[in-house]
Amino acid sequence: MMISACLVNPVRLTVTVRRAGLLRTAVNHTLVRTTTSTSGSSTMEIDSYAMFSRNQYDAHRLTRDMLEVSMERLASRCKLEGDAEPKQNQRRLLADLGSADGSSSLVTLDFAVRCLQSNCDTIDGYPLLNITFEEHPASDENKLKSTLESNKEWFERNGITWNVLMKSFYEPLFDRNSVDFLMSYICLHWLDTTDLPEGESISHWKTLGDENRTEACDWVHINEATAPLRVQEAWRSKLAINHLAKFLALRARELKPGAEMLLVMVGHPHEFVTLKDGTGPLTRAMKRCIEKGKLRSEILDKTVVPYFLRTVDDVRAAVIVAETFEIDNETPGAKLELIDCRSIAAVTKDDDNGMDGIFDLFWSIHVHCIQAASPTEVELESIKAESRQIFDEVYDSNEGVPSTFVACTLRRRQE
């Protein structure tokens, strides 16, 4: 084809649950989260992320209305198409892209499946589903599978089969015209880290718009106020919009006509990155470590977090670029229509663990980006300790950390 991410702890989630790995949400069924350590590298520190992902579940909760209407429309399509197809062909393909350990995905999928079923007439009318859980190939497949296997009863009760796909979502994932609904939560701000010149590491992106790396020690996140505007613009035009456009074109090819996708990504501003009074906490911590002689400046120079905080305008721009993105001499992105696109204010908060829970989530997301610059273990521990100190200085655990999410629903037009 040419194209230009044990033990289990069962928890009934009908009550407000406490401590690690459990969601503060009310659902009617028993779902299970894994709480043990498994080894394996990933784009994030997956075990820790699994413990604290609930702290950013707002991204799922605050977009449920969008998921609900997508499920209503899917139910209508199932009814319309049901009579015309033989029964064995009626298993609908749903997909969750960037599932991490699968915990948050399953809670949201439970909501989606209940919405879908409540819009169908009888138990005989429930569509049979297969759900694909997709994750980055460098992530922890065993951890994801462990969560899913722990929820065998939920899958069986709802007549759902499942599979895991360890592949980057910046590649083709499914057969053309095969997917009935696709969702992705808190993933698509991560850029395509394969978009590099031969032999280059991700720190090459610091040279975009700054060939001499004169300001490479001023930032680690491109959306920080201290990242030069020309470098930000180079990232927007050369990386961020093109990568999202490529994703959209690939998925447009794979959706069935009339099928929808719900994409929720981290938006701008997010106070993990864009603190009102200047440099983000990670850059600030690394600078302090350098001043104290605990970190070599070359580590800050090389550290880059390969994500881009998105805006509604950036999504609209990517939809336009996707229209012209060629795959096998076709432009499948031209068949996409943006039917909803919103910026949503949220808060990252941990009512049980306070600042420790907020910080542990932050660290799980970012530690591998620092490790990619090859600090020593002692240097890494210094950065972690300094970052934790800065969290106490700049955030209030009672208020939480303000964040933004951009959520959009896109549909592939009927032919």
Ligand X SMILES: C[S@@+](CC[C@H](N)C(=O)[O-])C[C@H]1O[C@@H](n2cnc3c(N)ncnc32)[C@H](O)[C@@H]1O
Among 53, 55, 70, 223, indicate the residue that binds ligand X (CB under 6 A). Answer: 53
Among 170, 205, 219, 362, indicate the residue that binds ligand X (CB under 6 A). Answer: 170
3-state secondary structure of 287: helix
Rounded CA separation 27/42 (Å): 29
Q: Give me the 188-207 binding string for ligand X, x by CB under 6 A, dash otherwise.
A: --x-----------------
DSSP 117-175: HHTSSSGGGSPPEEEEEEE-TTS-HHHHHHHHHHTHHHHHHTTEEEEEEES-TTS--S-
By CB under 6 A, tell whether 44 contacts ligand X: yes
3-state secondary structure of 94: strand
CB 252 within 8 A of CB 176: no
Q: How many residues bind ligand X (CB under 6 A)?
A: 20
Which of 41, 364, 373, 363 lies closest to 203 in space, CA to CA? 373
By CB under 6 A, tell whether 143 contacts ligand X: no
By CB under 6 A, tell whether 185 contacts ligand X: yes
Contacts with 101 (C-beta within 8 Å, 6 or more apart), sequence order? 5, 33, 34, 46, 47, 49, 50, 53, 140, 143, 144, 147
Give the nearer residue to ligand X in terms of CB position, either 52 or 219.
52
Rounded CA separation 275/148 (Å): 37
Give the nearer residue to ligand X in terms of CB position, either 94 or 289.
94
Give the nearer residue to ligand X in terms of CB position, either 219 or 307.
307
By CB under 6 A, tell whether 100 contacts ligand X: yes
Give the nearer residue to ligand X in terms of CB position, either 135 or 386.
135
Give the nearer residue to ligand X in terms of CB position, either 76 or 163.
163
Q: Which stretch binds ligand X (CB under 6 A): 42-50, 74-82, 207-215, 310-318?
A: 42-50
Among 133, 154, 155, 169, indicate the residue that binds ligand X (CB under 6 A). Answer: 169
Give the nearer residue to ligand X in terms of CB position, either 35 or 105.
105
Among 25, 34, 35, 43, indicate the residue that binds ligand X (CB under 6 A). Answer: 43
Rounded CA separation 37/314 (Å): 37
Tell me the β-bridge partners of 410: 261, 338
By CB under 6 A, tell whether 168 contacts ligand X: yes
By CB under 6 A, tell whether 98 contacts ligand X: yes
Cis preceding linkage at 269, omega within 30: yes
By CB under 6 A, tell whether 382 contacts ligand X: no
Sign of dihedral through CA atoms 114, 163, 334, 340? positive
State the residues that interact with ligand X by CB under 6 A: 5, 42-44, 53, 98-100, 104-105, 135-136, 139, 168-170, 185-187, 190
